[in-house]
Chains A and B, each alone.
Chain A
Amino acid sequence: MIYSKFEDIDTSNYPVVIFGSGPAGITLALKLERKKINSIVIEAGDEDFSENSQNLYKSEFTLDKLTETSNSRLRQLGGTSGHWGGWCKPFDDYDLKSWPININEINKYKDQTCEILDIKNQFRKSKINNSLEQIEFQYSKVRFAEKYKNYIKNSKNISLFLNTQLSHFNEDRGKIVNAVCIANEGKKKIINSKIFVLAAGGIENSRILLWTNIQSKGLLNNNENIGKYWMTHSWILGGAGVLEHEKLSNFMKNNYLDYEGPIHFASTLEHIKNNKNISSAIYMNPEKEEKKYKQIIKNILCVAPNYGKELSSRFFGKSLKCGNIFMHIEDLANVTNKIYLDLNQTDKFSIPIVNINYKRSIDTVTTAKLLLQEFSEFCRINSIGRIAMHENIYNLKNNLDYLGEYHHMGGTRMGQNAKDSVVDKNLKVHGIENLYIAGSSVFPSGGYKNPTFTITQLSLRLGDFLKEELI
Chain B
Amino acid sequence: MNTLSKRRFLINFCKITQLLFISNFFFIKDNSNLLKLKKNEKFIWYLNETD
Contacts and interface: CB of A to CB of B under 8 A. Distances in A.
Contact of A307 (B39, B43, B44, B48): B48
Interface stretch (A114-122, A246-254, A347-355, A373-381): A373-381
Contact of B43 (A306, A381, A390): A390
Contacts of A381: 33
Given A299-B41, A302-B40, A386 B47 contact: yes
Contacts of B43: 239-240, 299, 388-391
Given A303-B38, A304-B51, A388 B33 contact: no
A306 B50 CA distance: 7
Contacts of B45: 299-300, 303-304, 386-388
B6 interface: no
B35 interface: yes
Contact of B46 (A306, A377, A392): A377
Contact of B51 (A376, A386, A387, A388): A386
A303 B44 CA distance: 10
Interface in A360-396: 373, 376-377, 379-381, 386-392, 394
Interface string A268-310: 0000000000000000000000000000000110111111100
B42 interface: yes
A263 B10 CA distance: 59
Interface size class of A (residues with CB under 8 A): 20 to 34
Contact of A388 (B35, B44, B50): B44
Given A304-B51, A381-B33, A376 B40 contact: no
Interface in A205-242: 239-240
A389 B40 CA distance: 10
B26 to A, nearest CB: 17
Interface in A165-186: none
B7 to A, nearest CB: 44
Nearest to A372: B46
A312 to B, nearest CB: 13
Q: Residue among A303, A381, A386, A391 with the most chain B CB within 10 A?
A: A303
Contacts of A386: 45-47, 51
B40 A299 contact: yes
A307 B51 contact: yes
A425 to B, nearest CB: 45
Interface in A290-339: 299-300, 302-308
Interface string B19-51: 000000000000001010011111111111011
Given A299-B43, A386-B45, A390-B43, A380 B38 contact: no
B51 A306 contact: yes
B33 to A, nearest CB: 7
A362 to B, nearest CB: 19
A389 B39 contact: no
Contacts of A387: 45-46
Contacts of B35: 377, 380
Q: Residue among A305, A308, A388 with the most chain B CB within 10 A?
A: A388
B39 A380 contact: no
B42 A390 contact: yes
Given A303-B38, A306-B50, A306-B51, A391 B33 contact: no
A303 B46 contact: no
A450 B47 CA distance: 33
A274 B1 CA distance: 65
Nearest to A325: B43
A418 to B, nearest CB: 47
Contacts of B41: 299
A387 to B, nearest CB: 6
Contact of B47 (A304, A391, A394): A304
A389 B33 CA distance: 19
Given A380-B47, A386-B46, A388-B46, 14 more contacts: A299-B40, A303-B38, A303-B51, A304-B45, A304-B47, A307-B47, A307-B51, A380-B35, A386-B47, A388-B40, A389-B46, A390-B44, A391-B39, A391-B44
Interface of A: 239-240, 299-300, 302-308, 373, 376-377, 379-381, 386-392, 394
15 contacts: A299-B40, A302-B40, A303-B40, A308-B51, A373-B46, A376-B46, A381-B33, A388-B43, A388-B45, A388-B46, A389-B43, A389-B44, A390-B42, A390-B44, A391-B44
